[in-house]
Chains A and B, each alone.
Chain A
């Protein structure tokens, strides 16, 4: 099923490899500490213009994420001390980890974890925030105390699933508020021993701004890349088996061509092989109400855990 690369796709492949491969660093006299240079499978993208789920930013005032179209105001003095790990090979993102600085006025103790689970790649049967939060509940240690079982709520005009539990031993409360954005379950996890801190954090969530209009975002469709929709397909040529799952998110334009490829987790040679191949795929254009739409979907290459395991 391999077909010779066309000139256009060779160019795409070159552009992609330039975007993926970092420029060779100059020789150094002293290796910097605190820099991860040698990486295993990591995230990368075919271009640097399309927003990525993991590319949110933390300012003193807010957490902003262009991909998810949200801006969460932060309490005074709350900062991100440490950035999270890269996206996982099962589609899990740590978007931000926030806590008060020691010297912030009126500091109180607690943390905020903003995470996202890509529903294209969840290795369990969950296709909505409620199903994912119910899975969390079902796998919680039995010595936690459920304070509020998973239920729908409206926060800031947006539909969330709320779930609250307590660690009796630690005296810590977890408030989980999960919402669905672009086929991801975005979770806001508030942790504190003091429920007034949690109430404050939820008030900030209430004033979270969304900036995505439905017309702008592509339609997200799970498993869109099936035999019905893929009109032309080239298989990637891997040079060596690595046995890792390689989750890949793509955006297909209105004509059915792949315009953006995002690797959640891939070794460089895997990303190159997949980019070269997938750039040549052609899809049936997706039409809704007579209008061709852009589509966002996920493809799992490599060896991965499928739902139901």
Chain B
């Protein structure tokens, strides 16, 4: 823009004061700062954690009550199991699936996390998880892109057009078991991903991190409601509301739209939807959303494991009677219940006070994060958990999750036109930011690895976060860098 000499006049002929011109050059477009990238150092900020050994809560490490540590270890082992269709110790995979183990998707920075920087879905054919004659890798699965599931927001008409009167939104599993040596004669088509991409009728979701999930599960509803009341009068355009479990009306809290009530339901749904393994919570094989219209799954693709339903069930007998009693006890619950136990007992990530950028940058960034309003939704501490009947570290514990667990309108930039429970297409749970520093991909579809892009996506038509994002844009470059450093310290 050009500086004018003399007194300038506005559009209505009003005289603009001279000082006004001084700011003609002051506006800046875009951001100059850089996302420091995945924070190095201790995994989850926890001494002793490795890429395959996440740490449990403290009382689990000290095995209080006796046996809780064995149950955690057993849950961690099962979480890493590679499932097969038949003929192995872990059957039931498919007939449709997104990957063959929980730990394959939930792996960054350690097991229980989110998507790795290299995508195991990209190599399923070369690793013989999927037969290359019957399956192709969809184009939205790339070598260094996020691990993803896909959904079609609306049903397709028979002529390939999109019927925007009929929402769909269910998971369209990427791969089929067809052609695997252990899959018998089951032959299925993959969903029409290419056509869906052409029609722009496809959205993606990446895995949610699970660290600290037990703490989120053990928060009383009244704590969440009290936080909600504190948000009234925030003066930043933020409102928010809760998603509710349809069965008992209590506040739901897991998943990108806070649609799931408990970790058990979360685990059961994932086991069946993402891996095709039926269980005591979801006992029937799941056809694709529109497969029901054509008769559901063919018989040749049912009970492929040969053991009947549900494919994952409680074990009445201990299979491996060696080792201590508690380790044997832990073999009895189903996989699903042990997955949920594993998630429940995972320790939350510990933030760094010094990295990246140094202690001053991290502390300044933390102050800025709060003072520009990010902390209204991304509440640093939700409150204390209710008393626990399971293990001490779950009871009376602070939950430093940086989320209010509410669903908020996030506008057209983040809308995915998929409703879940009371959450409409543009409503998402405030993503907990604990552990953000060591995550690779951001937002519900993993569209970016750059925190700045994720921040910018908070502002769009219909978003509650536009004012706060504009406050971020009003900061100086140094201040913005401090906020980024702080976020990567989490």
Contact = CB atoms under 8 A, between A and B. Distances in A.
Greatest chain B CB density within 10 A among A172, A193, A241 is at A172
A27 interface: yes
Contacts of B154: 31, 37
Contacts of B479: 169-170
Interface stretch (B158-166, B297-305, B317-325, B344-352): B158-166
B466 A31 contact: no
A100 interface: yes
Contacts of A39: 419, 424-426
Interface string B4-19: 1000101110101001
Interface size for chain B: under 10, 10 to 19, 20 to 34, or 35 or more residues? 35 or more
Contacts of A89: 239, 241
A123 B232 contact: yes
Nearest to A100: B27
Interface stretch (A137-145, A152-160, A273-281): A137-145
A61 B10 CA distance: 11
B464 A305 contact: no
Interface in A216-256: 241-245
A56 interface: no
Nearest to A94: B237
Contacts of B225: 305, 309
Interface in A113-154: 113, 115, 117, 122-124, 126, 132-133, 135-136, 139, 141, 143-144
B425 A37 contact: yes
Contacts of B230: 139
Nearest to A105: B8
B38 interface: no
Interface in A15-53: 24-25, 27-42
A82 to B, nearest CB: 5
A123 B412 CA distance: 28
Contacts of B475: 170
Nearest to A110: B474
Nearest to A133: B233
A39 B389 CA distance: 39
B419 A40 contact: yes
B233 A244 contact: no
B368 interface: yes
Interface stretch (A4-12, A64-72, A184-192, A286-294): A184-192
B462 interface: yes
Contacts of B246: 241
B411 A82 contact: yes
Given A40-B419, A106-B8, A135-B233, A30 B26 contact: no
Nearest to A185: B233
| Residues of A contacting B: mostly | loop
Nearest to A124: B232
Given A105-B1, A111-B467, A167 B372 contact: yes
A84 interface: yes
A38 B419 contact: yes
A259 interface: no
A191 B370 contact: no
A118 to B, nearest CB: 12
| Interface pairs A-B: 10 shortest CB-CB | A40-B424, A88-B239, A76-B10, A38-B425, A167-B371, A27-B161, A85-B409, A136-B233, A243-B244, A106-B20
Interface of A: 24-25, 27-42, 60-61, 75-77, 81-86, 88-90, 92, 94, 97, 99-100, 102-103, 105-111, 113, 115, 117, 122-124, 126, 132-133, 135-136, 139, 141, 143-144, 167-172, 174, 176, 187, 189, 191-194, 196, 241-245, 265, 303, 305, 309
Interface of B: 1, 4, 8, 10-12, 14, 16, 19-21, 23-24, 26-27, 29, 153-154, 157, 159-165, 167, 169, 198-201, 225-226, 228-230, 232-237, 239-241, 244, 246, 249, 364, 367-368, 370-372, 375, 408-409, 411-413, 415, 417-419, 422-427, 459-464, 466-467, 470-471, 474-476, 479
25 contacts: A27-B157, A30-B198, A31-B417, A34-B412, A35-B412, A40-B419, A60-B11, A76-B10, A76-B11, A83-B461, A85-B409, A86-B409, A90-B232, A111-B470, A111-B471, A115-B237, A126-B233, A139-B233, A167-B371, A171-B476, A191-B470, A192-B474, A242-B244, A244-B422, A245-B241
